Structure 1
């Protein structure tokens, strides 16, 4: 698998992670069957995609990138779907996460 494919699978893992997080909220504590099943399926597929990424990208870089990007994307979904707008301090923290993901990926292997 090429490095480009690894980053494609990382994007898929982030998408599946955000989907899982969104459906976990909709599952209302896993009391609703369909959102609970979708949550379980998407998190398993997410972990599978991450395992493929780790064939070419070191585990720490993979997980740091996955976690940071999933957090940012989940916040965006929260704003759009649930009207959960972060405050100023949360926005500053999110900006640090973005900078961290960029540093890990662009400067981490030098």
Structure 2
């Protein structure tokens, strides 16, 4: 598998992770059947995609990138879907997460 394929799987993992997080919120503590099923399916698919990424990208880099990007994307979904507006300190923290993901991927030892 090429490095490009690995990054495409990383993007897929992030999308699946965000989907899982969003449906977990909608599942209301796993009391609603459909959102609960979607949450379970997407988290399993997400872990599969991450395992594919780790074939070419070190585990620490993979997970740091996945976690950071998933956090940012989940916040964006929260703003638009659940009207959850982050405060100033949250925005500063999110900016630091973005800086960290960029540092790990662009300046770190891959």
Q: Which residue of 2 aligns with 1:88?
A: 88
Structure 2: which 5+ runs fail to align? Answer: none
The number of residue pairs the alignment matches comes to: 110
Q: Cα RMSD over matched residues?
A: 0.7
Distance in 2 (alpha carbons) for counterparts of 1:36 and 1:83 = 21
Distance in 1 (alpha carbons) for counterparts of 2:17 and 2:58 = 19
Distance in 1 (alpha carbons) for counterparts of 2:101 and 2:34 = 33
TM-score by length of 1: 0.99
Deviation at 1:109, TM superposition (A): 1.5
1:1-110 correspondence runs (5 A): 1-109=1-109
Distance in 1 (alpha carbons) for counterparts of 2:26 and 2:81 = 11
Moved over 4 A (4+): none
Deviation at 1:34, TM superposition (A): 0.4
Distance in 2 (alpha carbons) for counterparts of 1:105 and 1:2 = 16
